[in-house]
Amino acid sequence: MYELVIRDEKLVENIINNDSDMMFAGVLAGHNPGRVWADSISEPTSAIVWADGLQCFQFMGNATNQIVINEWKIFYRNTIIPFLKEKDVNYFEFACEEEAWYTTINSTLKENEVNESWQRVYKSKINSKIIADDWIPLSYRFYQIDKVFISNINTRVSNQKFLIDYVEEFWGSIENYLNLGYGYVAVDK
């Protein structure tokens, strides 16, 4: 496994699919802070991606890649564990794009205590209208987090530092977010 310093659109094209988590795809593209290890420097087909904002790993791409399968145990012991210790993290949190990844990962973790949990991920379709009248209180207002919102943040939210820190954790900087990201905030008056 090789750590990839150059993260770009070519890497994204080789690894992601329509169901890929966009936060990890952003790390692959170099838009979001994180690290990437792959089976090849020049033509990667499988990757283990760390997202700084989420503080966890995603296994992406070809789950039956023999290079990854054969090197996984050594890579886990020699790279993943020291990496997590550097970050003062005492657990290995991960997700997989494909079920086939779990066989490879679990073969290494069978000696450890493993706690499974599941997360629901909601995706919206482009240009779909969301009818939220039934589940969003009337006191909430939604704002797009854009340049205008950021410049007027003191008048819109009471926890400005939290919001700025949160965006920077996932995007590295407000400027990077404004250039490459999009998002919304719900504010309760």
- For residue 162, is it within any domain? yes
**pLDDT tens-digit readout, 12-37:** 888 988 888 888 999 999 999 999 99
The residue segments making up the domain with residue 176 are 140-188
**pLDDT tens-digit readout, 96-151:** 888 888 888 887 777 777 777 776 665 666 555 555 555 677 788 888 999 999 98
- Both 11 and 104 in one domain: the answer is yes
Tell me the pTM: 0.77
For residues 169 and 112, what is the distance between their CA atoms, to the nearest angstrom?
Answer: 30
Final residue in a domain of this structure, among 68, 88, 109: 109
Residue 6 has pLDDT above 80, yes or no: yes
Helix (H) or strand (E) holding 160: helix 160-171
Q: Name the DSSP class of 33.
A: S
**pLDDT tens-digit readout, 41-98:** 999 999 999 999 889 999 999 998 888 888 888 999 999 999 999 999 998 899 888 8
Structure tokens at 75: 């890579």
User: How far is CA 9 from each of CA 14, 15, 20, 74, 182, rounded to the nearest angstrom?
Assistant: 9, 10, 14, 29, 18
- For residue 135, is it within any domain? no
Final residue in a domain of this structure, among 69, 94, 109: 109
Residue 3 has pLDDT above 60, yes or no: yes
Final residue in a domain of this structure, among 109, 129, 149: 109
Alpha helix (H) ranges present in 48-130? 66-75, 81-86, 100-109
